[in-house]
Structure 1
Amino acid sequence: MKGRPDCPRCQGRGVILDPDPLKPARICGCTPEGQQDAAEVGLPARYREADFTRFWKWWNNAQASHARTLLDRVGDLEDLLARPLDEVGEVEGREELGKLLQALRRRPEHGIRPAGAEGLAQWATSGKHRFRHGWELWWIHGPAQSGRSTLAAAALRAWSERTGRSVRYVSVRALSQAIKDAYYDVRSYQNQAFQSVRDLIEPLETPGLLLLDDWDRMDSDIRVAAALAQLVDHRYSEELPTLLTAAVPPEALERREGHPLARLDDASLLERLRGAERVEMVPALKPWIDRLARP
């Protein structure tokens, strides 16, 4: 068994040796044996080739028209942090802004990449990230065509290659329909295999990393929300990492009138979602520069 010669995890051996001699070696994700079949992972064809290198290139091209404008405002942000507190007041997120500006001095592209995406990439490729709430949960949000699903698929692939563990991709919209079909009350009735809700949810409880794409597109049926809440609760209890993508942040879903998650009245679930690490599909500098423009 041979690994990729440039693989930083196995150095071409094809296996990853654990620092603990009592733990067995793992097959590296860079080997054919260590890679899951695309059908097993569930990734649509559109995302099967996604990786961070391709994503950064696409993102940089998409942002090229206004990248210079954003970088030209870095000096204004540095001035903001340098001014006395009694003059500007407390700057919310001061520490985060300081870290971003420090990273920009080394590599300007940090300011153009999506807000929070650097942390996601570091976690997926090296396992290094400090989660504020303990559980490895990521919430990636942005409008349609913003690249959120592609970025999540790149993280899924990098994490699998690093750990050698199983991963799964699930479209929440498709899963919602399958759950509804399991109740036999859907006009289209597609449950030809007579699967129960348990049959649908159980296989998603155990993968090393699960990507739930378009979380905000779950069906309004309260039974769908209950099944998805059960899935998230199980992965939280087992401390299994999970990626969620949506068009909006979790707080925005809670405010939607009649949203099934709000109707569940599950405060613990909502708190966990709010506590997820965030990636917003806008250049990292943009939210800070927008603040400068506010009176």
Structure 2
Amino acid sequence: MVMNQKIVCSKCGGRGILIDADPTKPAIRCSCYQQRVGAQTHLGIPPRYQSSTLDDFWSWWITEHPEATLLSQLDLANQLLMNPMSRATLKNGLDLKLEHILQKSGYQPSNQGLGVAKHIRYALQPSGYDQLTGWALQGKSISDFWWISGGPQSGRSTLAASALKARVARTSESGLFISIRTFSQELKDVYYDIRSFKNTEFQSERALMQPLMDTAVLVIDDFDRLDNDIRLARAFAQLLDYRYAESKPTLLTATQGPRSVLQSEQSPLIKLGDESLLRRLEQSQRVECQPTLKSLITLIAST
């Protein structure tokens, strides 16, 4: 994806309509209007995710996570809670979280095989999924930063793209999806180009970053793949600071949670020493692309 400076239509001056000099003739749509609509539809989303919707994501999700597996984990959660010794090991409110999922799922144990759950969706859906979809579809759960994490093939990029499309469709806001690896390379090309007088199509860092600053909603995919170049870290830190100050929501995807990514010795952002930015990112609204119950079971097993 190549970011260029905005080109104003020579026919309509960027208005999207053509006004005839004769006041008796109606204004008509300029040909550039449909081009802009088409560009808005894709929002910079890669072809792989362009057709994705939240409904499609959910249909895929329930096939990836069979109900029988979740029922088995609900049985395990119930056993942990019913046994006084195992329940005593559940610290930091983990027992209450398990109870909440069991209640919301309408779980009932069975003496013959797996238990049953009338509303298994609450155990099945990604942690933070209701908050994200509520924000995209209804304007709820307002947050400056969303952090969507998950391993390879977990659906994190698809979910981010689907949420972006749903939000833009509802609000008619501008939106943009970028891959940090692709965009980082474009920025590095700018840094190298500035040393060459042969670059007749020179674009400044500001020109490349401007669309990311201007858009109402931004998705930065694979944020944990940010290049180690300190100039790139500084550019993205300034971008995130600006968007925070302007209350423009930003969705970041990564393989791990914010603390693991940002506090790593390899993190280029930690080199900047910007504690305020790191704290804000660590406090992002979390969405974890694995079933909510599985996340809790995994957390319990690791403690």
What TM-score do the two structures reach when normalised by structure 2?
Answer: 0.75
Larger Rg: 1 or 2? 2
- CA gap 1:269/1:294 in 2 versus in 1, 3 angstroms: closer
Aligned pairs for 1:58-207 (under 5 A) are 58-64=60-66, 67-78=67-78, 80=80, 88=88, 91-94=91-94, 96-105=97-106, 107-129=119-141, 135-184=143-192, 193-207=201-215
Local SS of the residue matching 1:165:
coil
Cα distance in 2 for partners of 1:103, 1:82 equals: 17
- The count of corresponding residues between Structure 1 and Structure 2 is 257
Structure 2: give runs of 5+ residues left out of the alignment.
1-33, 107-117
Q: Which residue of 2 aligns with 1:247?
A: 255
- CA gap 1:70/1:256 in 2 versus in 1, 3 angstroms: same
CA RMSD, 1 decimal = 3.1
Cα distance in 2 for partners of 1:98, 1:56 equals: 24
Shift of 1:255: 3.5
Equivalent pair of 1:214/1:244 in contact (CA under 8 Å): yes
Cα distance in 2 for partners of 1:113, 1:104 equals: 11
Q: Which residue of 2 aligns with 1:50?
A: 52
Report which stretch shifted further, 175-184 or 228-237: 175-184
Shift of 1:59: 1.2
Cα distance in 2 for partners of 1:102, 1:191 equals: 64
Shift of 1:87: 6.5
Report which stretch shifted further, 93-102 or 277-286: 93-102
Equivalent pair of 2:80/2:87 in contact (CA under 8 Å): no
Shift of 1:254: 2.8
Cα distance in 2 for partners of 1:163, 1:89 equals: 46
Cα distance in 2 for partners of 1:87, 1:171 equals: 43
Report which stretch shifted further, 275-284 or 94-103: 94-103
Aligned pairs for 1:212-227 (under 5 A) are 212-227=220-235
Cα distance in 2 for partners of 1:128, 1:112 equals: 21
Structure 1: give runs of 5+ residues left out of the alignment.
1-31
Cα distance in 1 for partners of 2:87, 2:166 equals: 45
Shift of 1:33: 11
Equivalent pair of 2:147/2:251 in contact (CA under 8 Å): yes
Cα distance in 1 for partners of 2:188, 2:36 equals: 35
Identity %: 41
- CA gap 1:234/1:93 in 2 versus in 1, 3 angstroms: farther
Equivalent pair of 1:34/1:164 in contact (CA under 8 Å): no
Shift of 1:167: 0.7
Cα distance in 2 for partners of 1:191, 1:98 equals: 63
Shift of 1:101: 3.3
Cα distance in 1 for partners of 2:254, 2:87 equals: 38
Local SS of the residue matching 1:279:
strand
Cα distance in 2 for partners of 1:186, 1:202 equals: 18
**Cα deviations across residues 73-98 of structure 1 (Å, max 9, x unaligned)?**
32443565577799616632445444
1:273 counterpart (281, 286, 293): 281
Equivalent pair of 1:172/1:217 in contact (CA under 8 Å): yes
Cα distance in 2 for partners of 1:286, 1:167 equals: 32
Q: Which residue of 1 aligns with 2:272?
A: 264
Q: Which residue of 2 aligns with 1:15?
A: none
2:292 counterpart (267, 284, 288): 284
Cα distance in 2 for partners of 1:87, 1:217 equals: 39
Shift of 1:266: 0.7
